[in-house]
Amino acid sequence: MLRIAEHFHDSDLGRQRQGNEDSYYVRAPLFVVADGMGGAQAGEVASELAVRQFEGGLPDGRSPAKALADLIQSANAEIHQQARDDPDLAGMGTTVTAAYLDGDTVVVAHVGDSRCYLLRDGDLIRLTRDHSLVGELVARGKLTEEQAESHPQRSVITRALGAYPEVEVDTEAFPARDGDVFLLCSDGLTGMVHEPQLKPLLEDRSRSLEQIGRTLIAAANEAGGRDNITVILFRLEDVDDRRGGGGDTAATAESAALTAEYETFEGEAVEPRQGVSRPMSATDEAEAEYRQNATVALQALQPRAEPEPPPPPERTVPLPSEPKRRRRKRSGGTLLLMLAVVIPLVVGAWLATRAVYFVGTETGAGRAVTIYRGLPYELPFGIDLYETYYESGVPLDAVPAARRDSFTDHQLRSRDDAEDLVIRLEKGQVE
């Protein structure tokens, strides 16, 4: 049976912020960190609303993973509604990362780019995946972790509480061991102290978690302290191993005291931070509609065979005159000749559109830079002369203003030119 043997929690303003938008909740065995965004007082409000949802503990009758996800969904709904009701809070949002010790398992629930790490036997393991632009590019294999750390759009969030009425929550249960150390933190730490530097700071077992936590915060400030820095650390131990199989009442009392501990940190308003963006992606429905429209267009261009004439009646009268029959033959021959000329031209033109590309964007909020194949035109009846070839996931708003025309001019390009332009954008090389 595992218990929380030691833990540390603190939040620091950093060196470049005027207030703290981070919030946290600590009541062993439950730990939560939230990083607000939205500026004015909105970020502070969003992160505080998120952690307040956990004050009553986990609801009974549900698995820890389901209970954590439900609490985060409730927080999201409340943040979204308040943002709609109060113009001063419009656009606010927050990340949230929660960890709960359930017997011999640590359950993690996560939305955004705050993180949870596990230090075990000298290995530092990241347990969460960043819901951010660069996180998505890393997952697609477009960026390495090293490139992501210095990418100019690394702060663009693709999933957060408050942006929409519902939010997808990542949950996972991790088998735990005696001696495991867990770290929950806002990106104010990981944005300044990258993973290769985190590990040596965490693995010194000769120091207490408080000493380690203070060192982490100091390291983030020494690296620039561009954002608020929140750090939660907790270490697990096996109760049976520590008691030697007996009933150690002192250990029991210590565990009860740790479990009863409660603390909530609430941040303060700060300057605006880059807001929440929503990833844009081509859907299966859009692709199916395109293919259906293209099929209709091609079918419309196909020659239609003339209906077979009805069988002649019983010839009790003379047949029609020869000149009339010749006129009918000439009319049919002309139609066939026209079709023989026009159809290859139309089909050739259609195939030619498959060899050209252009760069544009989807419509709506957070529209993404996308490579299209074909011509940037639409025919009547909703027929498009183009299709989505590759969607970068980079919103147009993240492109430097001076370069946005390059991604909206619909200039026809070769495939290599279009791919080169978008790849440079994904790697942060467009300035």
Domain regions of the chain by residue span: 2-265, 284-302+325-426
pLDDT in the model for residue 39: 61
Q: What are φ and ψ of residue 19, in 5° steps?
A: -160, 175
DSSP string of 330-390, one letter each residue: HHHHHHHHHHHHHHHHHHHHHHHHTT-EEEEE-SSTTPEEEEEEEEEEEEGGGEEEEEEEE
The rounded distance, in Å, linking the Cα atoms of 68 and 30 is: 10
- What lies within 8 Å, CB to CB, of 99 at 6+ separation is 30, 31, 32, 106, 107, 108, 116, 182, 184, 234
CA separation (Å) from 298 to 211, 343, 384?
71, 10, 12
pLDDT in the model for residue 208: 96
pLDDT in the model for residue 145: 74
pLDDT in the model for residue 351: 57
In the predicted structure, residue 377 carries a pLDDT above the cut 70 = yes
Instruction: Identify the three-state secondary structure at position 59.
Output: coil
Whether the CB-CB separation of 136 and 279 falls below 8 Å is answered with yes
pLDDT in the model for residue 337: 61
In the predicted structure, residue 374 carries a pLDDT above the cut 50 = yes
pLDDT in the model for residue 343: 64
Residue ranges in 25-94 assigned as alpha helix (H): 42-52, 64-85
In the predicted structure, residue 122 carries a pLDDT above the cut 60 = yes
Q: How confident is the model at residue 348 (pLDDT cuts 50, 70, 90)?
A: low
CATH code: domain 2-265 is: 3.60.40.10
Could you tell me how many residues make up the chain?
Answer: 431
In the predicted structure, residue 328 carries a pLDDT above the cut 90 = no
The rounded distance, in Å, linking the Cα atoms of 323 and 326 is: 5
Range 167-205 burial, b when 16+ CB lie within 10 A, else e: bebbbeebebebbbbbbbbbbbbbbbbeeeebeebbeee
Q: Give the chain's mean pLDDT.
A: 78
The rounded distance, in Å, linking the Cα atoms of 19 and 272 is: 11
Q: Mean pLDDT, to the nearest integer, of 293-305?
A: 39
DSSP string of 301-323, one letter each residue: HSPPPPPPPPPPPP--SPPPPHH
pLDDT in the model for residue 120: 97
Q: Mean pLDDT, to the nearest integer, of 18-39?
A: 93
